[in-house]
Amino acid sequence: MAINTLELKRAMLAQIGAEGTQRYTDARDIIPAMNGAQRRFEALAAPLLADRKGSEESLSELQETRVIQTNIQGGISLDSLWLTPTTTIDYEIWTVIALIAEPTTFPGTYTPMPQPAKSWLRLDRIYQPGGAEERPVKRMTMEQVAAARDNFTQAGNEVLAATGRRTYGYYMMGNRTDNDALLNGSREIVLTPNSLFTTAPPKLVVMSYLRSAPVITQIDANTNIPYPVSLFTIIRDLALNELTPKQGNQTTLYQITEREIGRLLGIQN
């Protein structure tokens, strides 16, 4: 269940005794404070989620699991996933939770999208977990890629790539070209082994990720922040931290630490 913006506003104003006053307006103060709270929360949670696995229920409102068609170089552009030849997704991908190679998808037949330089989010397909051929994709660093290539004990190696013992890995490549004709988009993650992903047709993988919360533009009973209710107090305090310099309060009154975020997300140190 998500956090309603109207309820959040009431809680914020009650905390600083500004309910019923004109001191803080939605457009000038409250909405920017809420957006700032979202940004601050993502900044605090991102390093935790990058290194560790969190509780799956904590951010389930933000989680999406989609079938992705990789580009012809075996990569997925996190900031440029195409839905159609003319439109991309309208949100940002915050963090990748998991990747699954050789998934079973429905419907069964697969026709690659055109323009192999692009990464595609295939809304015409859904992931069917538990397929006989599906394999996990292990996260690795850019430094490990060359070392893992010839090591049969490392994920994504080329030694066993052509056998039934193949394994998969992925790493953050970043931006490797500004030439959209070669590869479209930046902030790319790349999957290994390279030999399996750079041969036509482009491959399907399943990516489970957290999307960034949308920018808040209004406060009403129908506008929600897609974080679980358990984060209500943290989001409130982060928003108040953005708001209360105007009152002259010491900003340390509403400091939220990384540890508190981790505890609530169930991330173990």
Partner 1 sequence: MTIREFRSDIINSLGEGIDDAILDKNAIDYHIGLALNKLKKQFLSKMTAKNDAKGMMDMVSTFVVPVQYDATYEYRYVTLPDEVYDLANGRGINYVSYYRLGLPANCPPQVAKAQFDSTSWRELPMLYADPIQAPSPQRPRYIREPSRMWLFGIDPQMPTVQMGLVLSFDPLSEVNPDLPIPPEILFDLRRMVLSAGNWILLQPQERLLNDGRAFDTGTQKPNPGPAMSVNDPVMVTPASD
Can you give the binding site for partner 1, defined by CB under 8 A?
51, 53, 98, 136-144, 152-155, 160, 163-165, 167
Choice between 9 and 166, CB closer to partner 1: 166
**CB under 8 Å to 221, separation ≥6 — which residues?**
4, 6
82: closest CA among 124, 28, 22? 124
Cβ atoms of residues 122 and 204 within 8 Å: yes
Q: Least distance in Å: CB of 192 to partner 1? A: 13
- DSSP letters, 86-126, are S-B-SS-EEEEEEEEES-EEESS-----S-TTSEEEETT-E
Q: Least distance in Å: CB of 62 to partner 1? A: 21
Choice between 103 and 228, CB closer to partner 1: 103
Choice between 53 and 259, CB closer to partner 1: 53
Choice between 155 and 231, CB closer to partner 1: 155
133, exposed or middle or buried, with CB in 10 Å at 0-12, 13-18, 19+? exposed
Q: Least distance in Å: CB of 56 to partner 1? A: 13
**CB under 8 Å to 1, separation ≥6 — which residues?**
228, 229
Q: Least distance in Å: CB of 127 to partner 1? A: 16
Choice between 195 and 255, CB closer to partner 1: 195
Q: Least distance in Å: CB of 143 to partner 1? A: 6
Cβ atoms of residues 53 and 183 within 8 Å: no
